[in-house]
Amino acid sequence: MNAAYEFVTGPLAWAAWGIFLLGSAWRLVSMYQLAKKKDASSLAFMDWGFSLRSIVNWLIPFNALGWRKSPAMTVATFAFHVCLLVGPIFLAAHVMLWDQFFGISYASLPDNVADVMTLVVIAACLYFAGRRLAQPEVRYITTGQDWLALVIVLAPFLTGFLAYHQVGGYELMIILHVVAGEIMLAAIPFTRLSHMVFAAFTRAYMGSEFGGVRHARDW
Protein backbone atom coordinates (compact mmCIF):
# COMPACT_ATOMS: atom_id res chain seq x y z
CA MET A 1 0.00 0.00 0.00
CA ASN A 2 2.67 2.49 1.07
CA ALA A 3 4.84 1.94 -2.00
CA ALA A 4 1.84 2.19 -4.35
CA TYR A 5 0.53 5.34 -2.64
CA GLU A 6 3.99 6.93 -2.71
CA PHE A 7 4.32 6.17 -6.41
CA VAL A 8 0.93 7.54 -7.48
CA THR A 9 1.18 10.65 -5.30
CA GLY A 10 4.85 11.21 -6.18
CA PRO A 11 6.37 10.54 -9.62
CA LEU A 12 3.04 9.77 -11.28
CA ALA A 13 1.54 13.04 -10.02
CA TRP A 14 4.50 15.06 -11.34
CA ALA A 15 4.20 13.26 -14.70
CA ALA A 16 0.44 13.96 -14.92
CA TRP A 17 0.85 17.68 -14.14
CA GLY A 18 3.78 17.87 -16.56
CA ILE A 19 1.83 16.26 -19.40
CA PHE A 20 -1.17 18.49 -18.66
CA LEU A 21 0.76 21.78 -18.57
CA LEU A 22 3.37 21.14 -21.28
CA GLY A 23 0.87 19.26 -23.47
CA SER A 24 -1.61 22.14 -23.24
CA ALA A 25 1.09 24.68 -24.12
CA TRP A 26 2.19 22.56 -27.06
CA ARG A 27 -1.41 22.15 -28.32
CA LEU A 28 -1.94 25.94 -28.15
CA VAL A 29 1.30 26.74 -29.98
CA SER A 30 0.77 24.13 -32.69
CA MET A 31 -2.86 25.23 -33.17
CA TYR A 32 -1.72 28.84 -33.57
CA GLN A 33 0.85 27.80 -36.17
CA LEU A 34 -1.75 25.76 -38.04
CA ALA A 35 -4.13 28.73 -38.05
CA LYS A 36 -1.35 30.99 -39.32
CA LYS A 37 -0.65 28.60 -42.18
CA LYS A 38 -4.19 27.64 -43.18
CA ASP A 39 -6.47 30.42 -41.96
CA ALA A 40 -4.35 33.58 -41.88
CA SER A 41 -7.28 35.85 -42.75
CA SER A 42 -9.16 34.83 -39.61
CA LEU A 43 -6.15 35.71 -37.47
CA ALA A 44 -6.17 39.18 -39.03
CA PHE A 45 -9.80 39.61 -37.95
CA MET A 46 -9.18 38.61 -34.32
CA ASP A 47 -10.39 41.44 -32.13
CA TRP A 48 -10.22 41.82 -28.32
CA GLY A 49 -13.55 43.64 -28.04
CA PHE A 50 -15.58 41.18 -30.13
CA SER A 51 -13.77 38.26 -28.49
CA LEU A 52 -14.49 39.31 -24.90
CA ARG A 53 -18.06 40.32 -25.85
CA SER A 54 -18.74 36.81 -27.09
CA ILE A 55 -17.03 35.11 -24.13
CA VAL A 56 -18.90 37.19 -21.54
CA ASN A 57 -22.28 36.73 -23.21
CA TRP A 58 -21.86 32.97 -23.41
CA LEU A 59 -20.77 32.82 -19.76
CA ILE A 60 -24.17 34.07 -18.61
CA PRO A 61 -26.73 31.25 -18.27
CA PHE A 62 -29.77 31.61 -20.59
CA ASN A 63 -28.26 34.72 -22.16
CA ALA A 64 -27.18 33.15 -25.45
CA LEU A 65 -29.84 31.83 -27.84
CA GLY A 66 -28.07 28.47 -27.74
CA TRP A 67 -28.67 28.26 -23.98
CA ARG A 68 -32.32 29.28 -24.25
CA LYS A 69 -33.02 26.60 -26.85
CA SER A 70 -32.05 23.79 -24.47
CA PRO A 71 -32.77 24.85 -20.89
CA ALA A 72 -32.15 21.44 -19.28
CA MET A 73 -28.74 21.19 -20.91
CA THR A 74 -27.96 24.76 -19.83
CA VAL A 75 -28.69 24.01 -16.17
CA ALA A 76 -26.79 20.71 -16.35
CA THR A 77 -23.71 22.09 -18.07
CA PHE A 78 -23.36 25.19 -15.87
CA ALA A 79 -23.85 23.17 -12.65
CA PHE A 80 -21.45 20.54 -13.97
CA HIS A 81 -18.64 22.90 -14.93
CA VAL A 82 -18.84 24.99 -11.73
CA CYS A 83 -18.81 21.89 -9.49
CA LEU A 84 -16.12 20.22 -11.61
CA LEU A 85 -13.71 23.13 -11.17
CA VAL A 86 -14.58 24.54 -7.74
CA GLY A 87 -15.17 21.19 -5.97
CA PRO A 88 -11.74 19.58 -6.35
CA ILE A 89 -9.76 22.82 -5.99
CA PHE A 90 -11.40 23.78 -2.69
CA LEU A 91 -12.01 20.28 -1.31
CA ALA A 92 -10.73 20.21 2.31
CA ALA A 93 -8.81 16.96 1.76
CA HIS A 94 -7.06 18.41 -1.33
CA VAL A 95 -6.27 21.69 0.46
CA MET A 96 -4.76 19.60 3.26
CA LEU A 97 -2.48 17.86 0.74
CA TRP A 98 -1.23 21.21 -0.60
CA ASP A 99 -0.38 22.08 3.00
CA GLN A 100 1.28 18.72 3.63
CA PHE A 101 3.35 18.65 0.44
CA PHE A 102 4.12 22.33 -0.18
CA GLY A 103 3.13 24.25 2.98
CA ILE A 104 0.50 26.18 0.99
CA SER A 105 -2.80 26.70 2.77
CA TYR A 106 -6.01 28.33 1.57
CA ALA A 107 -9.76 28.31 2.24
CA SER A 108 -11.70 25.10 1.78
CA LEU A 109 -15.33 24.07 1.35
CA PRO A 110 -17.31 22.35 4.11
CA ASP A 111 -17.28 18.60 3.42
CA ASN A 112 -21.06 18.31 3.02
CA VAL A 113 -21.08 21.06 0.36
CA ALA A 114 -18.25 19.35 -1.54
CA ASP A 115 -20.13 16.07 -1.23
CA VAL A 116 -23.21 17.57 -2.92
CA MET A 117 -21.03 19.12 -5.64
CA THR A 118 -19.52 15.69 -6.34
CA LEU A 119 -22.99 14.22 -6.70
CA VAL A 120 -23.93 17.07 -9.07
CA VAL A 121 -20.93 16.20 -11.29
CA ILE A 122 -21.85 12.49 -11.28
CA ALA A 123 -25.52 13.24 -12.00
CA ALA A 124 -24.59 15.63 -14.83
CA CYS A 125 -22.33 12.97 -16.38
CA LEU A 126 -25.28 10.55 -16.37
CA TYR A 127 -27.48 13.24 -17.91
CA PHE A 128 -24.92 13.88 -20.66
CA ALA A 129 -24.71 10.14 -21.34
CA GLY A 130 -28.49 9.81 -21.49
CA ARG A 131 -28.69 12.79 -23.82
CA ARG A 132 -26.14 11.26 -26.19
CA LEU A 133 -28.26 8.10 -26.36
CA ALA A 134 -31.75 9.61 -26.42
CA GLN A 135 -31.48 12.77 -28.53
CA PRO A 136 -31.18 11.80 -32.23
CA GLU A 137 -29.33 14.97 -33.30
CA VAL A 138 -26.76 14.46 -30.52
CA ARG A 139 -26.54 10.72 -31.05
CA TYR A 140 -25.79 11.28 -34.75
CA ILE A 141 -22.61 13.25 -34.05
CA THR A 142 -21.47 11.22 -31.01
CA THR A 143 -18.16 9.36 -31.42
CA GLY A 144 -16.06 7.11 -29.21
CA GLN A 145 -14.03 10.18 -28.26
CA ASP A 146 -17.10 11.71 -26.59
CA TRP A 147 -17.69 8.61 -24.49
CA LEU A 148 -13.99 8.45 -23.60
CA ALA A 149 -14.03 12.05 -22.34
CA LEU A 150 -17.16 11.37 -20.28
CA VAL A 151 -15.69 8.27 -18.62
CA ILE A 152 -12.36 10.00 -17.92
CA VAL A 153 -14.19 12.81 -16.09
CA LEU A 154 -16.66 10.59 -14.26
CA ALA A 155 -13.97 8.24 -12.85
CA PRO A 156 -12.18 10.57 -10.39
CA PHE A 157 -15.46 11.90 -8.99
CA LEU A 158 -17.00 8.45 -8.55
CA THR A 159 -13.87 6.99 -6.91
CA GLY A 160 -13.42 10.16 -4.84
CA PHE A 161 -16.98 9.91 -3.54
CA LEU A 162 -16.51 6.23 -2.62
CA ALA A 163 -13.10 6.87 -1.03
CA TYR A 164 -14.46 9.78 1.05
CA HIS A 165 -17.32 7.64 2.36
CA GLN A 166 -14.92 4.70 2.73
CA VAL A 167 -17.15 2.36 0.79
CA GLY A 168 -15.73 -0.63 -1.05
CA GLY A 169 -12.18 -0.98 0.25
CA TYR A 170 -10.62 2.37 1.09
CA GLU A 171 -6.99 1.56 0.33
CA LEU A 172 -7.67 0.40 -3.22
CA MET A 173 -10.24 3.17 -3.79
CA ILE A 174 -7.91 6.01 -2.79
CA ILE A 175 -5.23 4.76 -5.18
CA LEU A 176 -7.79 4.36 -7.99
CA HIS A 177 -8.99 7.90 -7.21
CA VAL A 178 -5.51 9.42 -7.46
CA VAL A 179 -4.77 7.53 -10.69
CA ALA A 180 -8.16 8.50 -12.18
CA GLY A 181 -7.46 12.16 -11.40
CA GLU A 182 -4.03 11.91 -13.00
CA ILE A 183 -5.47 10.25 -16.13
CA MET A 184 -7.93 13.16 -16.36
CA LEU A 185 -5.19 15.79 -16.06
CA ALA A 186 -2.94 14.08 -18.60
CA ALA A 187 -5.87 13.53 -20.99
CA ILE A 188 -6.88 17.20 -21.11
CA PRO A 189 -4.55 18.25 -23.95
CA PHE A 190 -5.15 15.16 -26.09
CA THR A 191 -8.86 14.34 -25.89
CA ARG A 192 -12.19 16.17 -26.25
CA LEU A 193 -11.35 17.60 -22.83
CA SER A 194 -9.00 19.97 -24.68
CA HIS A 195 -11.96 22.36 -24.90
CA MET A 196 -10.75 23.41 -21.46
CA VAL A 197 -7.71 24.90 -23.20
CA PHE A 198 -9.36 25.92 -26.47
CA ALA A 199 -12.86 27.09 -25.47
CA ALA A 200 -11.89 30.72 -24.90
CA PHE A 201 -10.14 30.84 -28.30
CA THR A 202 -13.02 29.12 -30.09
CA ARG A 203 -15.41 31.74 -28.68
CA ALA A 204 -12.96 34.55 -29.51
CA TYR A 205 -12.70 33.27 -33.10
CA MET A 206 -16.48 33.08 -33.52
CA GLY A 207 -17.04 36.41 -31.77
CA SER A 208 -14.44 38.16 -33.94
CA GLU A 209 -15.84 36.78 -37.18
CA PHE A 210 -19.45 37.55 -36.28
CA GLY A 211 -18.55 40.96 -34.90
CA GLY A 212 -15.98 42.10 -37.46
CA VAL A 213 -17.05 40.34 -40.66
CA ARG A 214 -20.77 39.62 -40.46
CA HIS A 215 -21.57 42.50 -38.11
CA ALA A 216 -23.84 40.24 -36.07
CA ARG A 217 -24.04 38.76 -32.62
CA ASP A 218 -22.91 35.20 -32.09
CA TRP A 219 -24.99 34.53 -28.96
Q: Is 39 in the site for other proteins (CB under 8 A)?
A: no
| Interface segment toward other proteins; rule CB under 8 A; list 17-25, 68-76, 95-103, 127-135 | 95-103
HEC assignment per residue over the chain: CHHHHHHHHCHHHHHHHHHHHHHHHHHHHHHHHHHHHHCHHHHHHCCHHHHHHHHHHHHCCCCCHHHHHCHHHHHHHHHHHHHHHHHHHHCHHHHHHHHHHHCCCCCCCCHHHHHHHHHHHHHHHHHHHHHHHHCHHHHHHCCHHHHHHHHHHHHHHHHHHHHHCCCCCHHHHHHHHHHHHHHHHHHHHHCHHHHHHHHHHHHHHHHHHHHHCCCCCCC
Q: Is 96 in the site for other proteins (CB under 8 A)?
A: yes
Q: Is 163 in the site for other proteins (CB under 8 A)?
A: yes
Q: Which of 171, 195, 199, 213 binds other proteins (CB under 8 A)?
A: 171
Q: What is the nearest approach in angstroms of other proteins to the Cβ of residue 168?
A: 12
Distance in angstroms (rounded) separating the CA atoms of residues 52 and 173: 42
When the beta carbons of 158 and 187 are compared against other proteins, the nearer one is: 158
| Interface segment toward other proteins; rule CB under 8 A; list 21-29, 92-100, 118-126, 148-156 | 92-100
Q: Which of 98, 170, 190, 201 binds other proteins (CB under 8 A)?
A: 170
Q: Which of 31, 52, 75, 92 binds other proteins (CB under 8 A)?
A: 92
When the beta carbons of 97 and 138 are compared against other proteins, the nearer one is: 97
Q: Is 111 in the site for other proteins (CB under 8 A)?
A: yes
- Residues contributing to the site for other proteins (CB under 8 A): 1-3, 5-6, 92-93, 96, 99-100, 111, 163-166, 170-171, 174
